[in-house]
Every structure is written in C-alpha cells, then in structure tokens.
Structure 1
Amino acid sequence: MRLFFDARYIRTDFHDGISRYSAELAQAVADAASAHRTEVTFLIHDERQRAFLPKGAITLTIHSPTSAKEPFASLLLNRHRPDVVFSPMQTIGSGGRRFRLILTLHDTIYYRHRTPPRALPWYVRVGWRLFHLSYWPQRWTLNAADLVATVSETSARQFARVRLTKRPVVVIPNAPQRLAALLPEGTAISAGPVRNLVYMGSFMPYKNVETLVTAMRQLPDHTLHLLSRITPERRAELTALAGGASVVFHDGVTDAAYAALLADDAALVTTSLDEGYGLPVAEALELGVPAVVTDMEIFREVAGDGALYVDPLDPEAVVSAVRSLDDPGVRERLIAAGTAHIGAFDWKRSAEILLSAARDLVRR
C-alpha cells in the first residue's frame, strides 16, 4: 500500500496543536509502516520540514496548504498514484481524485469561537470566518472523503449531534508529548505540596484566565505561571485583576522550560469555558503532575480520575481544589489515576489505527 501523509502543517518555528499532532503521528506511522507492508510518502511544502520527519523519510514537495493551488491538489497527486492520502486537516482539494482519502477535523470549537489563527494570511482568515458561519461547507468538504478522522471520542459525538458528515468517523487519538525527556538527567518530579500553578494556553476570552487570576488573591502562598505569549494590553488587564497576587507572565517558553515548571511543586490549572482537546492537561498527567480543570466533557475524556474538576466561573472552587492538593493522599491518588488513564493515549496506538483504517479502505 502506498500511503501519502500530508505533513505540510508541520511548523518550523514552534509547534501549534496541528503541527505537533502531525509531527508525532508521522514518526509513529513511519515506525509502524513496515509491519503493515506500507510505503509512506510525506507531503511537504518547505524543505525545512524534513528536519521534523523521520530520518530517511520519503518526501514529495508540493505547494503550501494555503496556496491557491490547494483546491486542485488531488489532480497533482493523481500523477504519483497513491493508494490512500491522509491529511491531518480537511482542506486538501479532493476533486478528481483517483485514490482513497482520509480527512481530519479535530473538533468543532471554531463554530463556537470563530477567530482564526493569526498566522494565516488575511484572505484565509476571511474565508475561515465565512466557512464556519454554517455547517454546510464543512459537510460538503468532509463528505468528499472516504473516511473522516478526529482526535477524541468527544469530537466524534459532537460530529454526530450536528450530523456533520455521512462518512464513517474514526478516532485517531491525540497524545501527549513526553515532557520528562526534556528535563535534565536525574531530575525528579517534585512530590511535595503544590506551590506553583501552571497555565499553558492562549488568552482568548473563552479561555477564561480571569477566574484563575481572581483565585490567586486567596492563594498568597502560591504562584500562578502564565506561560504563553501575551499582548501588553491583556497583560495589563490581568495584572490589575490580580490585585497584587503572585502572577508571573512568561510571555512564551520553550518545551524544556515548560517541563521544568511543571516538575517544580506544580499543578496544571485551566478554567477554560470550551476546548477542542486540552493537550496541556494530557501532558501534565503524563509527566505525573496533578491538574485542576474545568468540569467539561473533553477534559473528562482526557483526564479521567486524574484531575480535580471545578466550576470555571467560581474562583472559590478553584481555591478549594488547589488547597486540597496539600493533602499527600489526594495528590498521590490523582497522580496515580492520571498516569494510568493517560497511558491509553499513545502515538503508537494512533498510528496503528490510521494504518489499519487505510488498509481497510484499499481492501474495499
């Protein structure tokens, strides 16, 4: 079987969610391909993307996914005779294709929050907003595939509720990166009382960082670390809201620094009002760090019994949950449950699901 894996969404500066998903799954697929008698070719648009692919990977360079040529991508790929094309997104042109096609829609969050990623060209951002005004463009896009992939059971249920596609849906789970590998050799995850609260995520309104900052007024012996890049205006708003509480703005960190902060008497915290997946939660649990998170469906799927769940609009609930982590028994229970639960989210398993699905399409 000849599988073309669309790796054009891998970023060469820093990973976002789609980029990391693409890179991690690409490595796992390459590792498992021989057992499935599969030849994998990775589609790229930038030579620098080779550095993020498995050593010795076969690549095919084509246009960028934001190019005006994208609607005609299948006509180009037909010349190279793939059996199956897998894309970690859903925008690759499907018209005139002579191969099986698996498209991916990670979640439906952009129907509820339509602000597109800022890195996209202006004309793509305009199209993005228009595309998400109704489900019909998405239905038309996904129904052009043979199979639709998504990253969680929660997303699959959301697709079914709004009848987003008549194609079969397969869950190829997202999985956490192994942050422990980024720590200095011999570094142990602190097992003492939690003193640092770590938030990894954007500062968009629905992320509801305000609840975390407000809760800090009642946690004078804790420090809240806000890791992501932030505008001066947003920083000023949150600083005023903190009222002198210990809040540190890191304005962007490396993965290694992120791992080090989580390893230092920390808990992962988020009071987001909506999420597509919640990768930072998964990463914390995999590292053996407790989490305090919003009580929502996707976090229940990702964290299981490995997190404390709170009302995201209630700072008092956050304070109470954080205080409960002072109890060694509570911490140990959460860490054990979280580590066991997140162990089921593994890139090797995800690769096996993708390769098996591709093989079934070819057989049909």
Structure 2
Amino acid sequence: MTRVLVDLLFFTGRKGGMESYAREIYSRLAADDPELEYVAFASSELAVQGAPWFPGRVIDSGVSGEDRIAWARGELFAVSRAARRLGAHVVHCPANFGPLRSRVPVVLTVHDLLAFRHPEYVPGAYSRVLRTMIRAAARTARRILTVSAASRDDIVEFLGVPAGRVVVTPLAGSAPSAVEPIPRRPAQLLAVGNRMPHKGFETLLDALARIEPAHRPTLVITGSHGDDPLAPVVERLGLGGHVDLRRWLRPDELDRLYAESTALVFPTRFEGFGLPPLEAMSRGCPVIVSDIPVLHEVAGDAAVYVDPADPDAIARAIRAVLDSPAERERMSRAGLARAAAFSWERTAAATRAALLGAASVPVTEP
C-alpha cells in the first residue's frame, strides 16, 4: 500500500480556486483504494472545519494557513518532516508550494506563476518570497502538475523545468447544487474573484459607468474580505445603486448567483486557468471574458472576448449581450457543451496516476 501525504496547510476555507481543486479531486478518490492510502496534513483551520470530502485521515498540523510566516515555515520544513514521521511514500502539494527538501518523492501542482509573469500585481516583498518558495518547490518535485497549457509554458520558461516533467490536468466545473431551476434576472451581471489588481474589477466598474443609466445593469461582485477596496471606486463613479459588493460566498450561495445572473463578466489580466467562467458555463450562464490565451483554452467559442484594459470595449460587449436574447441563448447552449468537455473524474484519475508513478521512484535528499 502506497501512503500519500497531502499537504493541506493552505486550506482555510478562504482560498478560492486552489481549495476547489483539492476538494474536487480528493472527493473523487476512493478511501478504499487498494493501492493508495491518503493522509491529509491540514491547517489548524481545516482541522476545526473538518474535511468530510477527504478520503482518509486528517491530521492537525497545528499550523495556521492564515498566518503567512507560520504557513511558509510549515511548507518549507514541516511537510517533509511529517512525511518521514508518518511513513509516507509520496507527498502531494496541491497549491503551488512545497518542501525545500524532501527524502520522500513530491508531486507539486502549480496553478499559476503570477509572481513571475506579472510581479507588478503582487506586493514587492511578498512577490520575492513567493518566487523563492515556488522555485524551491519545483526543484524538489519529482513531477509537476498544472492546470493549463498556458501555465505549463510559464513553468518551462520561468522555472526551467523540462516540458516532459509537466503534466497538464485541467480543472472542471462543479455540479450545480440547486435541484429546481432558478429564473434568470433580466439585467444582473456577476463578477467573481479576490481583490488583487489583476482581476480587473476597477476597469469593469469604469465600463459599467460608461453605460447610460437607463440601460445600466446591476453588477454583483463577490469575493471581498473585510473592508472592500472597491467601495470607494463605486462611490467615486456614482454607481451605488447599480453595484452590490458581496463578501466571500459559500459554494451554494455562489451557485445561486451563477444560476440567476444574466451573464458573468471576467475582466482578468492573468489567470492560471480561470475557473469562474467554467463554473458559469456549466450552469448555462453566458460569459464575457478577457481575450487572453488561457481563457480561450477554457471557454473556446462559447464566450465573448474583450480587451481587459479597454472599458469601452467591455461596456459594448455587456450591452451587446444584454440586448440580444438570441445571443444569450446561443452562448448558454455553447457554454453547457464546452463545460461538459471538462471532467474532475479525469483530473482525479490523472493525479492518482502521477502519485503512483512518483512513489515508484525513490529520491535522495540533497
């Protein structure tokens, strides 16, 4: 029996796509697998919350995933120590970071290289720390998984990893939680994401302000923690009656918004994959997304593409989609078909194969 230690130090319930990735994959791996046994090395937050989706033991690391210093030390040193102590044969680090050194083979999932491709979007000192930690984890890893061809190319370019060591395992949309259909609101846009500058929400608000008030839709923006930095922008642009700033939502709350919104607008400047458009498409919600390569990987011909730096172009795309029920119906059908091409089951199976393959090759700690 091969024992897999899964590094869940990052998992606090507030990390978005990387948590969805871990939860969706491990909920599809069997607790009674005849070849693999799974042990989670969990953050103190996850240990309290519980992880009924995880197919094995959950061990409280005593490390807070919200304390950046404690978390970084845990990634660099505690994970490898726990792997040796627990007799693990392979470690899976599913969220960009992992041990500085490890006698146990490591499979690392790298979601994106934002701090390398666009360091201007990450606070200075923190950006340097992220780059250092990701480089160290990549050097240690026996195999690297990533979520898109665009991220694979960045890994090869910035980390110097041979392309043959990188396996693309795309994300997928989760199943809708609502049993009964939810009617769509006639003019409600949805935007989803954290408040990092590359998400493009200020440009989106600028675009909304350029739509004449009589035709201006309501915009719901989720993903805030605490005081929302977009609130002053909304006030300055006079959009208080048209913008609803929401906190970080539970999956069922977000699911309802996908189902009832007229369209998702995703004006990001950079993504490793772009899960919100796929989630929206899987619920029949039309998507307006940035014209960047990775989103073409995700949305194909189901989306309307816009320049994320051009508020006038975003405003025109919003009006065009809102004004055409026939186009929305076409986009909804195309989105459902596109989303069906992605499968968490395939991603989980590819991850399992990578773990087994890495465990079969012993490594020596540098």
TM bucket normalised to smaller: 0.7 to 0.9
Distance 1:256 1:7 in 2: 22
The answer to whether the aligner puts 1:195 opposite 2:187 as a matched pair is: yes
Distance 2:289 2:344 in 1: 24
Per-residue deviation, 1:152: 1.6
Query: Counterpart of 2:129?
Result: 131
Which residue identity is paired with 2:7? D
Which residue identity is paired with 2:205? V
Query: Counterpart of 2:207?
Result: 215
Per-residue deviation, 1:90: 4.3
Distance 2:133 2:180 in 1: 51
Question: Which deviates more from structure 2 when the two are superposed, residues 67-76 or residues 195-204?
Answer: 67-76
Query: Counterpart of 1:297?
Result: 293
Distance 1:160 1:69 in 2: 26
Q: The residue matched to 1:18 in structure 2 has which SS?
A: helix
Distance 1:92 1:80 in 2: 17
Question: Which deviates more from structure 2 when the two are superposed, residues 294-303 or residues 153-162?
Answer: 153-162
Change (3 A) 1:2 1:56: closer
Change (3 A) 1:233 1:68: closer
Residues 310, 321 of structure 1: 8 Å contact kept: yes
**1:307 aligns with one of 279, 303, 306:** 303
**1:77 aligns with one of 76, 83, 86:** 83
Query: Counterpart of 1:175?
Result: 172
The answer to whether the aligner puts 1:360 opposite 2:357 as a matched pair is: yes
How do 1:91-130 residues align onto structure 2 when only pairs under 5 Å count? Answer: 91-97=97-103, 99-111=104-116, 112-113=118-119, 126=125, 128-130=126-128
Per-residue deviation, 1:275: 2.3
The answer to whether the aligner puts 1:57 opposite 2:56 as a matched pair is: yes
Query: Counterpart of 1:26?
Result: 26
| Structure 1 unaligned spans of 5+ | 118-124
Q: The residue matched to 1:104 in structure 2 has which SS?
A: strand
Which residue identity is paired with 1:214? D
Residues 71, 92 of structure 1: 8 Å contact kept: yes
Distance 1:8 1:148 in 2: 19
Query: Counterpart of 1:122?
Result: none
Per-residue deviation, 1:37: 2.5
Change (3 A) 1:351 1:331: same
Residues 200, 267 of structure 2: 8 Å contact kept: yes
Q: The residue matched to 1:334 in structure 2 has which SS?
A: helix
1:217-271 CA-to-partner distances (Å, cap 9, x unmatched) read 4253321122232736531223222467722223444433322233225100022
Distance 1:295 1:255 in 2: 27
Residues 63, 70 of structure 1: 8 Å contact kept: no
Q: TM-score, normalised by structure 1?
A: 0.83
Residues 96, 111 of structure 2: 8 Å contact kept: no
The answer to whether the aligner puts 1:227 opposite 2:222 as a matched pair is: yes
Per-residue deviation, 1:280: 1.4
Distance 2:72 2:354 in 1: 29
Residues 216, 242 of structure 1: 8 Å contact kept: no
Distance 2:319 2:75 in 1: 52
Q: The residue matched to 2:278 in structure 1 has which SS?
A: helix
Question: Which deviates more from structure 2 when the two are superposed, residues 75-84 or residues 280-289?
Answer: 75-84
Query: Counterpart of 2:67?
Result: none
RMSD: 2.9
1:81-131 CA-to-partner distances (Å, cap 9, x unmatched) read 22211111343325351x3211122111122146669xxxxxxx95x3323
Change (3 A) 1:115 1:52: farther
Query: Counterpart of 1:324?
Result: 320
Per-residue deviation, 1:17: 2.4
| Structure 2 unaligned spans of 5+ | 64-69, 362-366
Distance 1:15 1:30 in 2: 24
Q: The residue matched to 2:50 in structure 1 has which SS?
A: helix
Aligned residues: percent identity? Answer: 26
Which residue identity is paired with 1:92? G
Q: The residue matched to 1:214 in structure 2 has which SS?
A: helix
Distance 1:255 1:241 in 2: 30
Distance 2:222 2:56 in 1: 34
Distance 1:83 1:57 in 2: 15
Residues 11, 49 of structure 1: 8 Å contact kept: no
Query: Counterpart of 2:11?
Result: 10
Q: The residue matched to 1:30 in structure 2 has which SS?
A: coil
Residues 99, 136 of structure 2: 8 Å contact kept: no
1:302-343 CA-to-partner distances (Å, cap 9, x unmatched) read 111121001223333223322332333322221222112222
Q: TM-score, normalised by structure 2?
A: 0.82
Residues 293, 308 of structure 1: 8 Å contact kept: yes
Which residue identity is paired with 2:88? P
Residues 41, 60 of structure 1: 8 Å contact kept: yes
Change (3 A) 1:334 1:53: same
Query: Counterpart of 2:272?
Result: 276
Change (3 A) 1:114 1:233: closer
Residues 97, 134 of structure 2: 8 Å contact kept: no
Distance 2:237 2:188 in 1: 19
Change (3 A) 1:137 1:232: closer
Which residue identity is paired with 1:38? L
**2:71 aligns with one of 53, 66, 91:** 66
